[in-house]
Structure 1
Amino acid sequence: MDPYESVVERQIREAQERGEFDNLPGAGKPLKGLGESDDPDWWVRQLVQREGLDMTGAMPPVMALRKEAAGFPESLLDLRTEESVRAVLEDFNHRVKLDRLRPAVGPFPPMLARTVDVDDLVAQWKVLRAEQAEAAQQAEAARSPVSPVVAAGESGSWWQRLLGMLRGR
């Protein structure tokens, strides 16, 4: 026993003598993530991955704009009208143009994000929306116990539609 042994070191030594560290999971195996690369920020990458963090806010603005553009037109599917899609895309182009006004820093030329073709993306959005609506309609038809005549838009109250179903229309 060392006369200068701290309280913590004494507790660890006594636990080892009692065998409390024997047969622990991972005993004798290397620690994960050590020695795999020379990346000084390995711990930050592991934290982001483990916690599922969105690092878009920590990106340089031009990289965030490029990432946003890469998601078009799929990221626009929640929008209901063509006008709202055009507004989002025109706002994006405006932000790209504002980003180009930033002064260059360092010896290298600045990175730039491209503006998007609003009309082309609106056309792509329309195609995707139509496909999405058709898929939703097919899924609803597969789940619905209503007859095809009623599903096709037969008018009348709910009980008239029910009677039509019972009659085998």
Structure 2
Amino acid sequence: MTERKPAGMTYESWLDKQIREATDRGEFDDLPGAGKPLPDAGQSYDENWWLKDYLRREGVSGDGVLPPSLLLRRDVERLPDAVRAMNSEQRVREHICELNTRIVAYLRMPHGPHVNVTPVDADEVVEQWRARRQPAARPEPRADSERTPAGPRWRAVFRRRR
């Protein structure tokens, strides 16, 4: 049952008395997290802490709260990584076409914060995609004079050492 503040006591001293008495009775002894540092101690205050905590607990990314213009800008910036995993040029072009369709729809009726975003040049992205997929250039074979002799004489040397 909650007590009323007695007349003549300051509110702070009355609270301090309540906490001290509860501590003496051992009411704070087995609380979860006892003896551990406070989470986020020493960090600056974030007014959206509750939203970030909710999204983290629910396993949701912040994409749902971003305006379309920022999502488009992010997708354009991540495009090289997105197409790197694709295994066909047709799939790369389809992905770019879908992105460009979203960009054009935004440009026709922009809303949210203005972000400078323009359609992507599909041929340029495909060219970069092809360049990344090319195997590394193999070193040229050495001239005959640089090769190690592999004739029967060398095989005999290795047999003797065994």
Q: Which residue of 1 aligns with 2:77?
A: 70
Report the 3-state secondary structure (helix = DSSP H, G, I; strand = E; otherwise coil) of the residue aligned with 1:56. helix
| Greater gyration radius | 2
Q: Which residue of 2 aligns with 1:155?
A: none
Q: 2:122 aligns with which of 101, 118, 124?
A: 118
Cα distance between partner residues in 2 of 1:71 and 1:101:
23
**1:115-159 deviation per Cα after TM superposition (whole angstroms, max 9, x unaligned):** 22211211221233345xx8xxxxxxxxxxxxxxxxxxxxxxxxx
The runs of 5 or more residues in structure 1 that have no matched partner are 5-13, 135-169
One-letter amino acid matched to 1:41:
N
1:82 partnered with 2:89: yes
1:28–1:81 Cα change, 3 Å? closer
Percent identity, please. Answer: 32
One-letter amino acid matched to 2:129:
W
Q: Count the aligned residue pairs.
A: 121
Cα distance between partner residues in 1 of 2:103 and 2:78:
15
Cα distance between partner residues in 1 of 2:65 and 2:79:
21
1:62 CA displacement:
0.9
Cα distance between partner residues in 2 of 1:47 and 1:57:
13
**1:103-123 deviation per Cα after TM superposition (whole angstroms, max 9, x unaligned):** 556xxx832322222112112
Contact 2:69 2:111 in 1 (8 A): no
Q: TM-score, normalised to structure 1's length?
A: 0.53
Cα distance between partner residues in 2 of 1:57 and 1:104:
16
The runs of 5 or more residues in structure 2 that have no matched partner are 5-20, 137-162
**1:52-76 deviation per Cα after TM superposition (whole angstroms, max 9, x unaligned):** 5212132111111111111112212
Report the 3-state secondary structure (helix = DSSP H, G, I; strand = E; otherwise coil) of the residue aligned with 1:119. helix
1:3–1:98 Cα change, 3 Å? closer
Q: Which residue of 2 aligns with 1:98?
A: 105
Contact 1:104 1:110 in 2 (8 A): yes
Cα distance between partner residues in 1 of 2:35 and 2:90:
61
Q: Which residue of 1 aligns with 2:140?
A: none
Q: State the Cα RMSD in Å.
A: 3.7
Cα distance between partner residues in 2 of 1:35 and 1:53:
26
Q: TM-score, normalised to structure 2's length?
A: 0.55
Following superposition of structure 1 onto structure 2, how do residues 135-150 of structure 1 map, counting pairs within 5 Å? none
1:51–1:26 Cα change, 3 Å? farther
